[in-house]
Structure 1
């Protein structure tokens, strides 16, 4: 007997609602110039940055703690040279005073950083993730969040990725990589929502009661 496709979260009756803004911290991952004009320039970067900007505006309006994650690599690695211009945060999501900027070396934003400790100090138990790339640092961070007891919500429209070489031959288009990475996360690791509007509904409900 064939059953309709369901995620593991759905099969087990887990909560699949997006993160309530009053319980979440926003983590913007690697929104850096490398992905706009560097060797890793992404084809959908502008649309994703616009959505990330809307998400950031909502978070600030609702006083959600915001953390900016940046990749830094030693000179000679080819990308994210920490001595060059491509590690700069893009202006669409530039930090405001008081918003921490946390450097990392690995795809997982929690690895080798104090991000988890900083989030715990806010009292928040969920994270909202945006940034780059969908299949790499966003995915690694969402998976690690589960291990750390933090429920993750990924805003799909505020992420993007690139074409990848298929190890079995050919090229996998970036849209396929993006959709597949999101489907993998939604199966067990995170709630995935299309855009900021899914979170803004929580925002509107909160404002209506104040």
Structure 2
């Protein structure tokens, strides 16, 4: 156990919480621009997309509520904000831009929510929380990119709004591995449960009604 782990454990962080159904799935910003190392991608994002395909298939088979998010700015930049001032290239993510479209491998189907946002969190200023609440979601599995940015912001807001986040570690990715690893550690200690896809789906199977 590292010195950091020892400090957090001694202070009472990282306590496991119950993960109970109903489950839902949130896929954060798996769009072409974040899949492309020449735009906003890199790191382990490509592998996170590949790992998220069986996760999404599982959620659909189980009939879970599934939501996706995209960063979408107005064509004229009228909704320019601090996020786009820090990262001006974000303004290229517009409704009809290829970079803002969800990657084909994880494209939404009928009945799945797509929220458009101009800030990191998929919850801030969107209908996501109400949509999940209407569908009685208790535990929210989270995949997406990037781990240290929009994923982390969405997880913090999910927890703040009363959902129990389960971050699927191999289904989230970042353009750099150090912030990815640090963010997984931080979320596990304070805000969420973090586990890989196989462990997460085994847990969901065990928690399914009738098991």
Tell me the TM-score normalized by structure 1: 0.83
- Deviation, 1:188, is 0.8
Residue number in structure 2 paired with 1:34: 33
Match of 1:96 among 109, 120, 141: 109
| 1:63-74 paired onto structure 2 within 5 Å | 63-74=63-74
Change in 2 beyond 3 A, CA 1:4/1:45 = closer
For structure 1, list consecutive stretches of 5 or more residues without a partner in the other structure. Answer: 163-173
Pair 1:182 & 2:184 matched:
yes
Q: How many residues end up aligned between the 2 structures?
A: 195
Q: Is the 8 A contact 2:15 2:189 kept in 1?
A: no
Pair 1:205 & 2:203 matched:
no
Which whole-Å CA distance do the structure 1 matches of 2:4 and 2:119 have between them?
Answer: 39
Task: Classify the secondary structure of the residue corresponding to 1:192.
Answer: strand
Q: Is the 8 A contact 1:67 1:102 kept in 2?
A: yes
Change in 2 beyond 3 A, CA 1:64/1:208 = closer
- Deviation, 1:104, is 1.0
Which whole-Å CA distance do the structure 2 matches of 1:151 and 1:185 have between them?
Answer: 12
Which whole-Å CA distance do the structure 1 matches of 2:30 and 2:198 have between them?
Answer: 20
Change in 2 beyond 3 A, CA 1:41/1:190 = same
Which whole-Å CA distance do the structure 1 matches of 2:60 and 2:169 have between them?
Answer: 19
Superposition RMSD in Å = 2.5
Which whole-Å CA distance do the structure 1 matches of 2:4 and 2:67 have between them?
Answer: 41
Q: Deviations over 1:123-143 (max 9, x none)?
A: 112211110100000000111
| 1:1-210 paired onto structure 2 within 5 Å | 5=6, 7=8, 11=12, 14-17=15-18, 19-20=19-20, 22-37=21-36, 38-75=38-75, 77-79=88-90, 80-162=93-175, 174-193=176-195, 195-205=196-206, 209=210
- Deviation, 1:205, is 2.9
